[in-house]
Amino acid sequence: MTGYIIRRILQLLPVLLIASAGIWAMIYAVPGTPIGAIVGENATPEQIQAAIQRVGLDQPVLVQFWAWLKSAVLGDLGRSIHSRDPVLDLIMLRVPATLQLGLSATLVGLILGIPVAVISALYPGSWIDRSLSGWSALALGVPTFWLGILLILLFAVQLRWLPSASTYVSVFDSPLGALRNTFLPALTLGVYVSGIFARFLRASLLSELKADYVRTARSKGLKERDVVGRHVLRNALLPFVTVVGLMMAAFIGGTVVTEAVFTYPGIGRLLIQAINQRDYPLIQGVILFVLVAHVLINLMVDVLYAYIDPRIDYS
């Protein structure tokens, strides 16, 4: 198992190298330079020249890339052009907020999605299946910004139970404060993924319900509750884990729109801010972070499989 994890991490290196080159090239392809943002509108050509030299933009592209890569490997993603703070610090400041929102949104999605899937799969084609499928379609179809605004109108404006603008309060510092601030954005995202979860798990359950071992379990005289709850669900959840992992990775990569609606201080808003300010080191840093987070979550999902599926043996 350890060998497998080491091998996977080694396989990660070329992926990161190619991707970071891609990120670098992408920024170069975009018209305009960050110099204007640094020196301001009324700068003299001398000031501009000095800024270019300071930031290193007069060097050949490959040299710039190599310098960036070298320090990135050592954990130095450069400094933000705008705030002059280290990029890594700016990202790390947002990571706990993003993790808290991403995990709670996934949790909400599972709480809403799993029962919907199980009930639909048990009575396929029935009125309850059809109405629940309608619910999933609705959950997927309603834009998150609109649902977010509706929720703010209801809970913050009408009922005045929750704040309309969320800030990050760590669940470890103040569980109640965290709940007040994270609940609405988590619900907004959770409703959306519950649609994906419910659809995927329903299909997975339906195909497992046709499996031979289900007939075997029934032939032993097990209660239907145990046949579905133990035998079928356990197998149907195996492919489902991959989907949950993918969605979680997407949340950690930032949920730009939802964070904007709730003014939630996550990675997504940091990225928007960086793009607006043409803060190139910060853009590169955030994208690199998102990439690494995706790959690591996928690795975690694969490692998890070794524990939940006895057929998988990585050694």
Partner 1 sequence: MSEPVLSVRGLEVTFIGGGRPVPAVRGVDFDVYPNEVLGIVGESGSGKSVTSLAITGLLPDTARVKGSIRLGDVEMTEADREILRQMRGQDVGMIFQDPATTLNPVFTVGRQVTEGQVAHGQIQALRARERSIELLREVDIPDPDGRVLQYPHQFSGGMRQRAVIAMAMAGRPRLIIADEPTTALDVTVQAQVLSVLAKRQADTGAAVILITHDLGVVAEVAHRVAVMYGGRIVETGPVAEIFKRPRHPYTVGLLQSLPRIDSVDERLVPIPGQPPNPALLPTGCTFHPRCPIGCDRAICRSEEPPLRAVGEVHHSACHYAEEVARLFADAMPSDRIPASVVARAAAAGPPLLAVDGLKVHFPIKAGILRRRVGWVRAVDGVSLTVGPGETVGLVGESGCGKTTTGRAIMGLIKATGGSIRFDGQEVTRLSPGELRKARRHMQYIFQDPYSSLNPIKTVGDIVAEPLHIHGLYEEMGGGARITELFELVGLPRTVLGRYPREFSGGQKQRIGIARALALQPRLLILDEPVAALDVSIQAQIINLLQDLQKELGLAYLFIAHDLSVVRHISDRVAVMYLGRIVEESEKATLYETPVHPYTQSLLSAVPVPDPDARQTRRRIVLEGDIPNPAKPPSGCYFHPRCFRATERCRVEEPAFEPYPGLPTRSACHHAGPLEAVGSRRGASS
Residue 169's alpha-carbon distances to 71, 164, 204, in angstroms, are: 32, 15, 37
Rounded to a whole number of angstroms, the minimum distance from the CB of residue 221 to partner 1 is 3
Distance CA 73, CA 69 (A): 6
Q: Which of 52, 149, 222, 257 binds partner 1 (CB under 8 A)?
A: 222
Interface map 232-271 toward partner 1 (x if CB under 8 A):
--xx--x---------------------------------
Q: How many of the other CB atoms lie within 10 Å of CB of 219?
A: 8
Which residue's CB is nearer to partner 1, number 160 or number 311?
Answer: 311
213 contributes a contact to partner 1 by CB under 8 A: yes
Compute the least distance from the CB of residue 301 to partner 1, in Å: 17
Residue 42 in the binding site for partner 1 (CB under 8 A): no
> Which tokens hold the place of 86?
């280290």
Helix axes 175-209, 87-122, angle to 10 degrees: 40
CA distance 85 to 92: 12
Q: Is 76 helix (H, G, I), strand (E, B) or coil?
A: coil
- Selected from 127, 160, 212, 307, the binder of partner 1 by CB under 8 A is 212
φ, ψ for residue 219, nearest 5 deg: -65, -20
Which span (131-139, 168-176, 217-225, 288-296) binds partner 1, by CB under 8 A? 217-225
Total residues contacting partner 1 by CB under 8 A comes to: 26
Residues that bind partner 1 (CB under 8 A): 3, 6-7, 10, 211-213, 215-224, 226, 231, 234-235, 238, 308-311
